[in-house]
Amino acid sequence: MDRHVAEEADDGYVILWDGWLSLFDLGIRKHALGYAPALVDRIKRYKPECEQDVADLLRHGGVDPGQVDTIIYSHIHFDHIGDPERIPTARIVLGAEGKVLLQDAYPVNPESRYLAFRAGREVVYIDFDAQSDALNKFFGPFDRVFDYHGDGSLYLIDGPGHLQGHMLVAARVAPNVFVLLSGDACHSRECYASGRAVSKEFEAHWSLAQETARRLYQVHKALDNVVIILAHERERETEMPLFPSELNVWAVEEVEKRKQRKTQ
């Protein structure tokens, strides 16, 4: 199967390879430089370090960033959006509700926290209300799900609440095994593993974010064939192989281990 999934550390950008190359989030911009001026002081408080961004890591792994076909964004917070101009030829895919954040992005609005995409950049907005019934699927408790390739290999999942347009991605890594890349639907493993609600301070829409986290918890409880990976889940950096190693075999083993624990 020509399908590989890999994750690199540093706030969760994940690489999906399915005949063509897609990225899910780009992490932080290199040296955390080049953000909209209205964000600069806020970012300094976090003291992010990013010596190598995703384009550097691709090159070190033997992949030319020019080969990337698609950047799928979970959402456009600074630690996920990275610098799309480092992957200049890729199509951008974003949840349609995120469009409003970009309508007056910097420099049109000097106060905006968001940078406008380069003029002429191809951006595809995923409108879950407008998808045909044939491509609108369920993924466990999530009922607004777009079958991106139309072959069940990659699902884009509406996961509202954290920020407008927030999406999760489920990638099939074996005939009946998925990794669910959850963006910021939850910020830590405890959030979904315990069913505890997400933290109010991080969410644009509190009740929607709670509902998305609740559904993630249901996936965790009910779907044995799904490995959940949160963008900020620090445990995963040491638990799982990082790019250029693949996740596929590891994910299948995780599923097997869980099934064994249940039968013991």
Interface residues toward Zn ion, by CB under 5 A: 77, 184
Contact call for residues 11 and 79 (beta carbons, < 8 A)? yes
Contact call for residues 212 and 160 (beta carbons, < 8 A)? yes
CB of 126 to Zn ion, least distance (A): 18
Using the minimum distance from each CB to Zn ion, give the nearer residue, 101 or 227: 101
Using the minimum distance from each CB to Zn ion, give the nearer residue, 4 or 77: 77
Using the minimum distance from each CB to Zn ion, give the nearer residue, 113 or 172: 113
Using the minimum distance from each CB to Zn ion, give the nearer residue, 92 or 255: 92
CB of 75 to Zn ion, least distance (A): 6
Using the minimum distance from each CB to Zn ion, give the nearer residue, 93 or 173: 93
Listed in order, strand segments (DSSP E) in the chain are 3-8, 13-18, 20-24, 68-72, 91-95, 123-126, 136-139, 142-147, 154-158, 167-174, 177-181, 226-229
Alpha-carbon gap, residue 99 to 118, rounded angstroms:
14
CB of 231 to Zn ion, least distance (A): 8
CB of 29 to Zn ion, least distance (A): 15
CB of 184 to Zn ion, least distance (A): 4
